[in-house]
Structure 1
Amino acid sequence: MTFFEIADLCAGYGTGQVLFDVSLDIERGEVVSLLGRNGAGKSTTMRCVAGAKPPYVQDGAIRLDGDDVTDLKTYERINRGIGYVPEERRVWPGLTISENIRMAINNADDPLSMDEVMGYFPRLRELGDKAARNLSGGEQQMLAIGRALASNPEIMLMDEPSEGLAPFIVRDVENIITTLNEEEGLTIFLVEQNVVMAMDVSDRHYFIDQGSIVDEMTPNELRASPDLRKKYLSV
C-alpha cells in the first residue's frame, strides 16, 4: 500500500480551476519535492493536502496510509498525522517561541514534548521566551518547523522553507530536513524554488506545469537534465 497519495486532484479558487488531475505518491520515509515555475500550482497542491481554504478541491482524493483525508478539516488532518509548514512561516508574532510551540502541543492528540521539540532547535532554546515577531527570518522558519513537528506528524509538508533566507541559513534548514528524515524516519513532502536545495535533500522530484504533473525523476537525473531545468524551472 502506498503511504501517501494524491489521486486525480482537481482544485481551484472560486470558479477558476488551477490543478488538473494531479497525481503523485510518496513512500514512507521518503523526501519528495514538487518543483515548477511560479504559478505552476505547487503551493495550491500543498494547501489542498494541508486542508487550507482556499483553494477548494473539486475532484480527486488525498490518502494517507490508506485513509481518505480529502474532506477532513485542517485540525483533523493534523491529528491524523499531517504536519504543515506554510509558505512565509506564519508564526504567531505576538506569542513567544515556547507559546507558539505550546499552542501546537495543546491542539494535538499525540504531541511531542517541549523538550523533544527543542532538542532539534538549540538556537530556539538559546533565545528563551523571545517573541516570534522579534526573531530573524531563519529563526522564524525554525519555529515554524518546530511548531509543525510538535504534533508528532507522520508526514511533514513544507512549502518553500528556504524562501527569503540567507544561504548559510538555508544550509541549516537542509540539515534539519535531513536529520528529521534520516534519524527519525519522517516522511517529507517539499515545495521548493531553490532547486539546489531540493536536489540535496530529496529522493525524488515531481514537476508541475500549468497545474498538471508533467514529469518525475531522481536528483541525479535532474542534475543531468539542463534542458528540463530550463523548460520547467528557468534554471
Structure 2
Amino acid sequence: MNIVEIENLNAGYGTGQVLFDVSLEIEEGEVVSLLGRNGAGKSTMMRCVAGAKPPHIQSGTVRVNGEDITDLATHKRTSKGIGYVPEERRVWPGLTISENIRMAINNTSDPMSLDEVLSYFPRLQELEDKAARNLSGGEQQMLAIGRALASNPDVMLMDEPSEGLAPYIVRDVEQVIRQLNEEEGLTIFLVEQNVVMAMDVSDRHYFLDQGEIVDEMTPGKLQENPEIRQRYLSV
C-alpha cells in the first residue's frame, strides 16, 4: 500500500519553477531517500509534501493515505498523518525539551505521550528541563525528531537530519531512524546530503536533478554504480 503518492508535481517560488512533473510513491513501512546535488529541488519537494510555505504548487497532486492534501493548510496536515522534521531543526529556543514536545502533543488529536517520545532519546530524558537554545546541534536535532514523532505520524518527513552534525552524532540519528522504522514500522521520507547515511538506512532512492526525477534504485544498485554517484551526487 502506498502511503505517499506524488503525481506530476510542478512547483516553485514566485514566477520561477523548481520542480517539473515530479512523480514518486512511498509504500507503507519503507525508508525512501531523495538524493541530488545542492539546488536540485530536494527541500522544495519536501516542503510541498509538508505543506510548508513557500513554495507554491502550480499543478499536480500530493496524496497521503489515499487522500488528496495538495491544497490542505500546513497546520492541518499533522492530523492526516504527517510528521515533519524541517531543515535547520527550528525548535522553539525559549522552551524546554519537554515543553517543545508537549506543544506538539497538545496540537494533535492522537499523540504519543511525553514518556513514549523520550524513550527513544535517552539523552533528552536527562535534559528535559533544559531550554532548547542551550542544547548542542545534535540534541536539537533529536528534539526536532521527537517533536515530530509526538504527533504519532504515519509518515515522517526528514529534511537533511545529519546537516552540520559531527560523525558520531550522525550515527545516533541513523540509529533513531532505524529504530523508528524497524520497531514502530514508521514510514520515513528522507532528504539527505550524507549519501553514506542514506544508503545505510534507506530501502530505495529517488534521484532529483534540476527539478526532475531522473532515476530510482536500491542502495545496493547505487553502490554498484559509481557513475551515477558522480553524475548526480558528486561522490
Place the TM-score, normalised by the shorter chain, in its bin: over 0.9
State the partner residue of 1:97.
Answer: 97
What's the CA shift string for 1:209-235, capped at 9, x where partnerless?
Answer: 000000000000000110010000000
Structure 2 distance, partners of 1:60, 1:190, is 21
What is the one-letter code of the residue matched to 1:202? S
Does residue 36 of structure 2 align to residue 36 of structure 1?
yes
What is the one-letter code of the residue matched to 2:110? D
State the partner residue of 1:24.
Answer: 24
State the partner residue of 1:229.
Answer: 229
> How big is the shift at 1:75?
1.4
Gapped runs of 5+ residues in structure 1?
A: none
What is the one-letter code of the residue matched to 1:150? A
What is the one-letter code of the residue matched to 1:60? G
> How big is the shift at 1:128?
2.7
What is the one-letter code of the residue matched to 1:221? K
Structure 2 distance, partners of 1:71, 1:178, is 31
What's the CA shift string for 1:128-148, capped at 9, x where partnerless?
Answer: 310000000000000000000
1:37-76 residue pairs with structure 2 within 5 A? 37-76=37-76
SS at match of 2:208: strand
SS at match of 2:142: helix
Q: How many residues align?
A: 235
Does residue 205 of structure 2 align to residue 205 of structure 1?
yes
What's the CA shift string for 1:12-35, capped at 9, x where partnerless?
Answer: 001110000000000000000000
State the partner residue of 2:168.
Answer: 168
State the partner residue of 1:138.
Answer: 138
1:141-152 residue pairs with structure 2 within 5 A? 141-152=141-152
Structure 1 distance, partners of 2:72, 2:28, is 21
Structure 2 distance, partners of 1:58, 1:41, is 15
SS at match of 1:183: helix
Structure 2 distance, partners of 1:181, 1:128, is 24
> How big is the shift at 1:109?
1.1
State the partner residue of 2:185.
Answer: 185
> How big is the shift at 1:162?
0.2
> How big is the shift at 1:2?
2.3
State the partner residue of 1:11.
Answer: 11
Structure 2 distance, partners of 1:158, 1:78, is 14
What's the CA shift string for 1:46-73, capped at 9, x where partnerless?
Answer: 0000001100100000011211011111
Identity in percent: 79
Structure 1 distance, partners of 2:4, 2:128, is 36
Say what the alpha-carbon RMSD is for the aligned residues. 0.6
What's the CA shift string for 1:149-204, capped at 9, x where partnerless?
Answer: 00000000000000000000000000000000000000000000000000000000
8 Å Cα contact 2:3/2:155 also seen in 1: no
